[in-house]
């Protein structure tokens, strides 16, 4: 059976599993649709949460970022995992105790204002659509490569699947579908990682393989440092970001995790307050399996790529005349990925060989050597998002492993996309229509409105997947920054500040959202042409667009406290409500 047929079989079987689960767990009420009836076991919820949160950015793009950024890519590991600790300690139990369906509903009730609820819906839509753009790009990449169809066809297939189990099953269907997707994605991630670790270091555990030695006896990381240095790149284990930017990105990703609506809503699906904290703990366990493996996957992918494209780098003949891979003899995996236009070769010196050196090297001696060998600029462009997906092919693993990775990538993207689309639909049907515009809406009509909103959201998500504003992990980092700057401070103050009033909350959310979105728009040009050079010298305080959410969060709180000081105080009954939310009743059932 050839690779294409095998991939169709493996992906098709995984799709059948998801659809079967969705039919079995379809929603029959608004409670099922929004929070799975509130009866999900914490271990099951932890696994579903892990799948919901470990998106295409985690499966497809994060190891690719680490592969090219090296040590600097660890900021994503610290921020995304640290955010779950923040969520488990600061938010999850209190929000579950409050007992509402959605984040905007909590904000509307806590700040006694439909205006605050409306602003929260606006923030949620900005965050969710930015996030879902990254997921649908991941869907398009996987389908276009492994099923060898154009990206439009791939997106339509992915949209159809998400539409089926999100719209039919609601949160109940999505929860149990995500459990199946977690099993698929973690198996698909770990199997090739173990194979490659064994091939390179002889260690069955990729986490330990990163610190092991290669066949020649050299430490793997020392060998990788030498390889990338000999190609003019910065050493893999050296830092390449300023300390202030590292701190800002880490804090933005942490607070953003704790402010993501599609993650928070998962803690409304468990029966008791204690279960919300337990779910967060189990989610961390399931997440850590992939996150402790990602650095090894990224490093080994980078090593294999250089060994394939520039064979001389491993034998010390890096700068020899005519060095590089003969283009006509390039491996099959490269030919297949070239068809997706995510890897490109430009023969700048006309010698028919692929020469992969760093165009931006500041090492004069290195530049002189490669130019003397006939080099006229880097000839290979590799999209960061292909590294995990292409890694098994580069390492020449069996076809069934490659097909498994395709199924895992699709599972990761679709699981998060479904969660995001449900959050968008519930915000429109439950918060906007039922909560503000038509309070007398029947449960049946609300359920229909939620499904129609999800259908429209699927269409918008497909468009964003076809016209993505950046590579997957970068777009997702922007979504985390928006959540950090808008919803996180408002939720935090809603739980821990008795005096914060509606005027302060509304002003804070708007200022944080507008500032952060404007900054990202200015430097990254989402949906428009960039208006400024995206270089550190132009950044505010030296903070990149990926980390600016931290500044937005500080601005949010400063504005909120300032406005609250000069407006009417928070009503006394709301202050008692805040005290009640914080009262430690442990394992008791939610009272609100």
pLDDT single digits (tens) 11-45:
788 878 777 776 765 555 454 454 444 567 788 88
Question: Can you give the CATH number for the domain in which 249 is found?
Answer: 1.20.1730.10
Highest mean pLDDT among 151-160, 337-346, 371-380, 487-496: 487-496
Q: Return the HEC string of 1-45.
A: CCHHHHHHHHHHHHHHHHHHHHHHCCCCCHHHHHHHHHCCCHHHH
With beta carbons less than 8 A apart as the criterion, state whether 389 and 407 touch: no
- Structural element, H or E, at residue 325: strand 325-326
pLDDT digits (tens, 9 = 90+) for 52-81: 777 777 777 778 778 877 777 778 788 877
What are the φ and ψ backbone dihedral angles of 556, each rounded to 5 degrees? Answer: -55, -50
| Structural domain includes residue 105 | yes
At 248 the pLDDT is 92
pLDDT given at position 36: 47
| Of residues 115 and 582, more confidently modeled | 115
| Range(s) of the domain holding residue 184 | 25-301+393-582
Regarding predicted confidence, which is higher, 356 or 150? 356
* Cα distance between the two ends of the chain: 57
Q: Are strands 343-345 and 325-326 parallel, antiparallel or unpaired?
A: unpaired
Q: Is residue 498 part of a domain?
A: yes
When pLDDT is cut at 50, 70 and 90, the band that residue 527 belongs to is very low
H or E element that contains 447? helix 443-466
| Lowest pLDDT segment from 149-153, 165-169, 176-180, 584-588 | 584-588
**Rounded Cα distance, 64 and 139, in Å:** 16
Q: Per-residue pLDDT for 393 more than 80?
A: yes
Tens-place pLDDT, residues 127-140: 887 777 777 777 77
Residue 550 pLDDT: 95
- Is 342 among the domain residues? no
Number of folded domains that form the chain = 1
Domain annotation covers residue 313: no
Query: How many percent of the chain have pLDDT more than 70?
Result: 85
pLDDT for the residue 585:
52
pLDDT recorded at residue 78: 81
Residues 37/29, Cβ–Cβ less than 8 Å: yes
Residue 251: pLDDT above 80?
A: yes
What are the DSSP calls for 148-183, one per residue?
A: ---HHHHHHHHHHHHIIIIIHHHHHHHHHHHHHHHH
Residue 344 in domain: no
Q: Among positive and negative, which fits the CA dihedral 132, 135, 137, 140?
A: negative
Does a structural domain hold residue 383? no
Round to whole Å and give the CA distance between 185 and 389: 12
Considering the chain, what is the average pLDDT of its residues? Answer: 78
535: pLDDT strictly greater than 70: no
Task: Flag whether 513 is in a domain.
Answer: yes
The per-residue pLDDT for 240 is 67
Please state which of the ranges 163-167, 224-228, 544-548, 549-553 shows the lowest mean pLDDT.
163-167
Tell me which of 435 and 542 has the higher pLDDT: 542
In this structure, is residue 327 part of a structural domain?
A: no
Contacts of 516 (CB under 8 A, 6+ apart): 481, 482, 484, 485, 486, 548, 549, 551, 552
């Amino acid at each position: 059976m050839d690779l294409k047929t095998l991939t169709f079989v493996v992906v098709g079987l995984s799709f059948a599993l998801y659809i079967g689960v969705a039919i079995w767990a379809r929603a029959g009420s608004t409670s099922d649709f929004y929070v799975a009836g509130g009866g999900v076991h914490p271990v099951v919820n932890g696994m579903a949460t892990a799948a919901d949160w470990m998106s295409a950015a985690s499966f497809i793009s994060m190891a690719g970022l680490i592969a090219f950024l090296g040590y600097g890519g660890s900021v994503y590991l610290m921020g995304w995992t640290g955010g779950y600790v923040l969520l488990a300690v600061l938010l999850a139990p209190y929000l579950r105790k409050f007992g509402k369906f959605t984040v905007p509903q909590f904000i509307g009730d806590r700040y006694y204002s439909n205006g605050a609820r409306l602003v929260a819906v606006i923030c949620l839509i900005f965050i969710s659509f930015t996030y879902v753009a990254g997921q649908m790009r991941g869907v398009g990449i996987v389908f276009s490569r492994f099923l060898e169809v154009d990206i439009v066809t791939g997106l339509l297939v992915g949209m159809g699947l998400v539409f089926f189990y999100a719209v039919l099953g609601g949160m109940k269907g999505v929860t149990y579908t995500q459990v199946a997707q977690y099993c698929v994605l973690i198996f698909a991630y770990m199997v090739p990682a173990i194979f490659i670790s064994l091939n390179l270091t002889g260690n069955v555990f990729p986490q330990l393989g990163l610190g092991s030695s290669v066949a020649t006896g050299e430490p793997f990381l020392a060998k990788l440092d030498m390889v990338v240095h000999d190609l003019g790149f910065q050493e893999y284990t050296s830092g390449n970001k300023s300390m202030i930017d590292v701190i800002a990105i880490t804090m933005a990703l942490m607070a953003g995790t704790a402010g993501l609506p599609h993650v928070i809503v998962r803690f409304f699906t468990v029966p008791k307050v204690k279960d919300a904290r337990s779910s967060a703990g189990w989610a961390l366990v399931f997440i850590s399996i992939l996150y402790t493996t990602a650095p090894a996957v990224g490093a080994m992918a980078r090593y294999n790529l250089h060994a394939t494209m520039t064979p001389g780098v491993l034998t010390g003949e890096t700068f020899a005349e005519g060095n590089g891979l003969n283009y006509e003899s390039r491996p099959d995996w490269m030919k297949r990925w070239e068809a997706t236009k995510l890897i490109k070769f430009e023969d700048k010196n006309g010698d028919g060989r692929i020469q992969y050196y760093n165009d931006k090297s500041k090492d004069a001696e290195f530049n002189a050597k490669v130019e003397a060998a006939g080099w006229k600029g880097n000839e290979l462009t590799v999209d960061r998002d292909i590294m995990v997906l292409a890694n098994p092919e580069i390492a020449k693993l069996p076809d069934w492993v490659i097909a498994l990775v395709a199924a895992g990538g699709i599972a990761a993207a679709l699981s998060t996309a479904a969660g995001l689309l449900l959050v968008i639909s519930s915000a429109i049907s439950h918060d906007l229509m039922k909560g503000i515009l038509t309070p007398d809406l029947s449960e049946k009509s609300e359920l229909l409105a939620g499904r129609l909103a999800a259908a429209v959201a699927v269409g918008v998500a497909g468009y964003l997947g076809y016209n993505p504003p950046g590579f997957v992990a970068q777009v997702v980092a922007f979504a985390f920054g928006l959540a950090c700057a808008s919803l996180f401070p408002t939720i935090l103050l809603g739980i821990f500040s008795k005096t914060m009033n509606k005027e302060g909350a509304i002003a804070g959310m708007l200022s944080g959202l507008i500032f952060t979105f404007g900054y990202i728009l200015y430097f990254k040009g989402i949906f428009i042409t960039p208006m400024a050079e995206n270089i550190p010298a132009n950044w505010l305080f030296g903070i990149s667009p990926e980390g600016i959410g931290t500044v937005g969060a500080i601005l949010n709180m400063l504005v909120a406290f300032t406005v609250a000081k000069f407006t009417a105080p928070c009503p006394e009954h709301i202050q008692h409500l805040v005290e009640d939310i914080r009262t430690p009743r442990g394992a008791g059932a939610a009272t609100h």
